[in-house]
Structure 1
Amino acid sequence: MALHPGVSRPPANVLAVLREVAERLPERPALIAPHPGGGSRAITFRRLTNRIDRVAAGLRRLGLLPGEHAIVMVPMSIELYVALLAVLQVGAVAVFVDPWIGARQIAAFAASVAPRAWIGVPKSHLLRLLEPALRAIPWSVTTGRRLAGLPARRTLAELEAEPGDGVLHPATPEEPALITFTSGSSGEPKGANRTHGFLRAQQRALAAEFPAAPEDVDMPMFPVFSLNNLAVGVTSVLPDMDLRRVDRVEAGTVLRQMTAHGVTTCTASPPFFDRLAAHLATAPGEAPRLRRLLTGGAPVSDAQLCAWRTAFPDTEILVAYGSTEAEPVAHLTAEERLAAVHTGRPEAPGYCAGRPVERLQARLLRIHDGPVELGEDGWAAWEAAPGEIGELVVAGEHV
């Protein structure tokens, strides 16, 4: 692994972990994705790191420098991870925006980070025609063909046609790696900044709380879990669905995909599992042999858990709680959640979220205005009473 001249310390760059996996498991499939024309296509860990290295070298030749920002607008696919991880290999910062956000709002986001590159599917470049600020981004790459009138200087295939150089920006734990922008209810840009140190800490936390077996094949609906799978050498099968319309997922298609590729674990939102359970209620013979389901991102009702348990009677079902800034925070099994309703306080609002994970420090504070100022009693004066609604505060390396 080549580092920048004069650098001798071990790199904090998350790509270093992927390269170690590729050396250990070169021929294991890293990603299996639906093919636009039907069927599927796969890429091994060795081939993935090779493609990333070629694209990273191409981005450097274009002029992208460490610390600069690159907007990435590619749906969940092999190309997404090639582009994203190439940006990180350069030492630049990948910027994501919600795919349903319009050009004007994207321009507002861009104004706050001054991106130097735009990497996206051909349709994403059409957005740049609508906003002068987006057209002014210096370096642009399309994952498809370069169409007439499309403001894209290079294609991903052109970058890959040139050899890679193996150079990995070492990065420090404090250097930004990913920024995710959402619009929120106010319409103002809301960015979540993940550093290289945070991503590696999150990978360690996820691996500790939801350990993978050597033979596992995972279907992750959330891109962050695909990154974790790459870090631990687990094959990811990307679901054949439109992530913007989870409530309309073709359950039969996804279930057949699971069976065809030997999926053993699945991480997805509650509506995703609702669709699978509803389908299996009328076609139980189509159920794949899964050992674990992991869900989060939205509240889960007792009725949902019972429906999932009926659909997957022999599968461990875990409900995780967390946020963009801290994931995971807590989790529990479906059985623990259902039992908590009967042994706790059934009239209490909300749902049981489980116990905080070991790598976090957590306290429930009484609701208050202003900052917390600790006195002689420390946290005791601020903590909520048992059964009282409060504010959860957490600390840890993946926060």
Structure 2
Amino acid sequence: MSLLLNTADRLRKNAQAFPDQAAILEAVPRKRTSEGQLVFNETSFRELDDESEQLAFGFRELGVQPGDKLTLMVPYSARMLKLTFGIVKSGATVVLVDPGMGRTNILNCLEQVNPEGFIGIPIVQVARMLNRRRFCNARFNVTVGKRWFWSGPTYDSVLKRGRESSLKPYATNATDPAAIIFTSGSTGPPKGVLYEHGMFDAQIGMLQEHFQIKPGGIDLAAFPLFGLFNTGLGGTTVIPEMDPTRPADVDPALMVKTIEQLGVTQAFGSPAFWNRVGRYCEEHHLQFPTLRCALSAGAPVPVHVLKRVMKFFTQPEDDIFTPYGATESLPICSIGGREVLNETAQKTSRGAGTCVGKPLDRVQLKIIRLTDEPIANMDEIEELPTGEIGEIIVQAPTTTKEYFHHPEGTKQAKIKEGDIVWHRMGDTGYLDEQGRVWFCGRKAHRVLTESGTLYTIPSESILAEHPQVYRCALVGIGKPGEQVPVLIAEPEEGKFPQSLEGQQQLLRELQEIAAAHELTRSIKHFLLHESLPVDTRHNVKIFREKLVPWAASQLKRS
């Protein structure tokens, strides 16, 4: 028998324990007090729990049934959090897509899901109606905001229905579907990851245990998913004045003002977010006495970013942590900035890869022999010894079991062990003598040359040591096994050489660095790029697939 459990249970408990504590502080864009202070709209835990409960009843009064899929397309806001909890409380499955993945990808992903309804802002409803043949199953369509030329329920009318409802709360099981969240699509088409209620609950529990997060903290959450996590952890979620789909363009002065004014104790942002904020703070010699913990994920955090962030802190135990994981299984490992700077950074600069720390409690992790073929069960794997690079596979209470309506993707990414499902991360890496995991890049990005295999992260880290270089991307031109490695460097902001002579000088220096290291000695082709293409979710995962044709055309010209 499955355990009765709902993703929103932790919210309910927090609302009972500290009803009047602020659950959400949402910045009001461009609004300031007469003293120049930022203005925030506050939602207490009681209000968040009550309103999400009323939304849940309202959805059910509309006819939404348990298991129905409702696509939520509302900007990161208090309303977005209320609607998420309202949908999962109703027993429906919330479908979340990244608005930055592009119109074509969004439409393809949603057509694959075939949702029973769209909960979205007016422009979303316009797009739905223009594509009604693709979404003929969508009958529960709620407009969040002003309804234009169409009929149907609005956020306020659903809320009103819920307040007047005599329904009782719906009970879900731990194994019931809670959400479908799409991958970023950085190494292929985005796939819908099916989450159960128990998986979300386990994520919150593991984060709480590992980072010793206590209720009452004030968390600047620059990414929506961590806003949801923090609500379950009993902290106040600060929704800052920024576009969460463009963290690399965040206004650092505004983030500093937010942290100082609210006394933020914890903050999550992508490496691109911390790079921008860190540079600003370093230039202005700023520290944050209240900030105890910073978190960053989405891609390896460059050492120069860690160094800048470490200067924020005023207490010896304060740190920035870089959890490692994926949409399909999160969290897996974590390491602190102090450990990186004191113990692993020098090895990274010499081509050892990026250390992502030890697996968290309740996480099993293995390094297996690399293969691009499906693996049906664990009897077929070959586990590798310490120090040997292979493919990373994981199993934990948070590990998802399948992709939604994507059997081929599930076949490629999942390994059965009885009733347990392991996830193939699609990453390469190895274990060191201390049991720490070293990340060496995506499996799909390894460069297969006639003389052997080059892994992206070790090679790129060596070249990124050049003081003028911000980041690098290694790509392979040609057929696997005969690929020609090309190293593409993006100079630091404002340091791209403007003259041809300056560009050639930088390229010569990169060639000299590569020639001095055994790992990179075989790389003979180097290019400069003003701004490497990156993912829209975190603005840090480099789209190497897009760079391959560009690099090939550049080599032909030369």
Whether the TM-score (by the shorter chain) exceeds 0.5 is yes
Q: Which amino acid aligns with 1:144?
A: G
Q: Does 1:271 align with 2:252?
A: no
Instruction: Between 191-200 and 127-136, report the one with greater CA deviation.
Output: 127-136
User: 1:213-292, aligned counterparts within 5 Å?
Assistant: 213-285=214-286, 287=288, 289-292=290-293
Provide the residue aligned with 2:17 in structure 1: 24
User: 1:298-377, aligned counterparts within 5 Å?
Assistant: 298-314=299-315, 315-341=318-344, 347-370=350-373, 371=375
* Superposed displacement of residue 271, structure 1: 0.9
**SS of residue matched to 1:30:** strand
**SS of residue matched to 1:168:** coil
Deviation per residue, 1:159-182 (Å, 9 max, x gap): 222315463321111111111124
8 Å Cα contact 1:322/1:328 also seen in 2: yes
8 Å Cα contact 1:265/1:291 also seen in 2: yes
Q: Which amino acid aligns with 1:30?
A: A
User: 1:35-54, aligned counterparts within 5 Å?
Assistant: 35-36=28-29, 38=31, 39-54=39-54
* Superposed displacement of residue 397, structure 1: 0.9
**SS of residue matched to 2:87:** helix
Please say which structure displays the higher CA radius of gyration: 2
8 Å Cα contact 2:329/2:398 also seen in 1: yes
Change (3 A) 1:120 1:369: closer
* Superposed displacement of residue 134, structure 1: 5.6
Provide the residue aligned with 1:126 in structure 2: 126
How far apart, in 2, do the equivalents of 1:245 and 1:62 lie?
Answer: 35
Provide the residue aligned with 1:98 in structure 2: 98
User: 1:58-69, aligned counterparts within 5 Å?
Assistant: 58-69=58-69
Structure 2 portions without partners, runs of 5+: 32-38, 400-558
* Superposed displacement of residue 232, structure 1: 2.5
* Superposed displacement of residue 266, structure 1: 0.5
% identical aligned pairs: 30
Provide the residue aligned with 2:451 in structure 1: none
* Superposed displacement of residue 36, structure 1: 4.1
8 Å Cα contact 2:23/2:45 also seen in 1: yes
Change (3 A) 1:287 1:339: closer
* Superposed displacement of residue 221, structure 1: 2.1
Change (3 A) 1:247 1:302: same
* Superposed displacement of residue 293, structure 1: 0.7
* Superposed displacement of residue 362, structure 1: 1.2
How far apart, in 2, do the equivalents of 1:37 and 1:161 lie?
Answer: 30
How far apart, in 2, do the equivalents of 1:200 and 1:23 lie?
Answer: 18
* Superposed displacement of residue 143, structure 1: 1.5
How far apart, in 1, do the equivalents of 2:209 and 2:187 lie?
Answer: 37
* Superposed displacement of residue 126, structure 1: 2.5
* Superposed displacement of residue 311, structure 1: 3.7
Provide the residue aligned with 2:296 in structure 1: 295
**SS of residue matched to 2:6:** coil
Provide the residue aligned with 1:3 in structure 2: none
* Superposed displacement of residue 77, structure 1: 0.5
Q: Does 1:13 align with 2:13?
A: no
How far apart, in 1, do the equivalents of 2:205 and 2:141 lie?
Answer: 34
* Superposed displacement of residue 334, structure 1: 0.9
The higher-RCO structure (CA 8 Å, 6+ apart) is: 1
**SS of residue matched to 2:147:** coil
Change (3 A) 1:183 1:358: closer
* Superposed displacement of residue 288, structure 1: 5.7
How far apart, in 2, do the equivalents of 1:43 and 1:310 lie?
Answer: 32
Deviation per residue, 1:246-295 (Å, 9 max, x gap): 11101111211122222111111111111111111232347463011111
Change (3 A) 1:152 1:242: farther
Deviation per residue, 1:175-212 (Å, 9 max, x gap): 11111124626874511111101111111111111122
Change (3 A) 1:374 1:140: closer
Provide the residue aligned with 1:156 in structure 2: 155
Deviation per residue, 1:220-250 (Å, 9 max, x gap): 2233322222222111111211011111101
Deviation per residue, 1:342-392 (Å, 9 max, x gap): 6858633421111111111111122235427666xx97xx22233221111
Q: Which amino acid aligns with 1:46?
A: R
Change (3 A) 1:259 1:56: same
**SS of residue matched to 1:167:** coil
Change (3 A) 1:285 1:87: same
Q: Does 1:398 align with 2:411?
A: no
Q: Which amino acid aligns with 1:32?
A: L
Change (3 A) 1:152 1:203: farther
How far apart, in 2, do the equivalents of 1:287 and 1:129 lie?
Answer: 48
8 Å Cα contact 2:115/2:135 also seen in 1: no
Q: Does 1:169 align with 2:170?
A: yes
**What is the total number of aligned residue pairs between the two structures?**
386
* Superposed displacement of residue 299, structure 1: 1.1
How far apart, in 2, do the equivalents of 1:277 and 1:258 lie?
Answer: 13
* Superposed displacement of residue 313, structure 1: 4.9
